[in-house]
Amino acid sequence: MKKDIILAGVGGQGILSIAAVIGMAALDSGLQLKQAEVHGMSQRGGDVHSNLRISDREIFSDLIPFGKADLIISVEPMESLRYLPWLSKSGWLISNNVPHVNIPGYPELASIESAIHAVGQHVLINADEIAKDLGMPRSANMVILGAASPWLGIDFSTLESAVRKIFGSKGADVVNQNLMALTAGKEFAMAHHS
């Protein structure tokens, strides 16, 4: 078992909360893990990404080579495209379709979406709306993780228990909200993937 995952987004969007859940679930599954993060200047609204590698044998590089990522999980649509050189030809691209516009000349969403469609295997999800409909707008990242869950190679129940551990200190309500968000994302992906 080996999954190479690129998490993408904009500094401040909290992609590391997704990484934390996958990381916890990977450890609970007895897998090895390496997760390279971006700290420092880019966190101020610049493009950020994390290379997350999980495997049942030794992982050498902290960075994923070109063409080897099994998954790109992005909380922002344009950012999902920035890492395409790393995506495997048989990989999946899972992206939120809600743009974060903090630069001039941000492209039309329609053209971003058609570029994502051109990639082939993908799930494009309005995680913000799904999270809002569930009454928990701050759980959009867990919706996106749920949408990626069918391709993670980790049992869904293991992901759920990782959510319980990670959000446990914030109380039962927050845990349940995030679990619901995770399930909603998964259901959307199963019904709407390419």
Q: Which is nearer to other proteins, 89 or 157 (CB)?
A: 89
Q: How far is the CB of 157 from other proteins (least distance, A)?
A: 20
Of all helices (H) and strands (E), which one includes residue 187? helix 172-192
Q: How far is the CB of 22 from other proteins (least distance, A)?
A: 11
Q: Which is nearer to other proteins, 121 or 176 (CB)?
A: 121
Q: Which is nearer to other proteins, 55 or 183 (CB)?
A: 55
Among residues 182, 161, 177, 190, which one has the least CA distance to residue 26?
161
Among residues 139, 112, 136, 107, which one has the least CA distance to residue 124?
112
Q: Dihedrals φ, ψ of 191, to 5°?
A: -85, -25
Give the integer Cα–Cα distance in Å for 35 and 104: 31
Q: Which is nearer to other proteins, 72 or 189 (CB)?
A: 72
Q: How far is the CB of 103 from other proteins (least distance, A)?
A: 5
For the record, the structure tokens of 114 come out as 């058609």
Q: How far is the CB of 191 from other proteins (least distance, A)?
A: 25
Q: How far is the CB of 189 from other proteins (least distance, A)?
A: 21
Instruction: Enumerate binding residues for other proteins (CB under 8 A).
Output: 10-12, 23, 27, 32-47, 51, 58-69, 78-79, 81-82, 84-89, 91, 102-107, 111-112, 115, 118-119
- Locate all alpha helices (DSSP H) within 107-171, ordered by sequence: 109-119, 127-133, 140-148, 156-167
Contacts of 121 (CB under 8 A, 6+ apart): 90, 91, 92, 93, 193, 194
Q: Which is nearer to other proteins, 1 or 103 (CB)?
A: 103
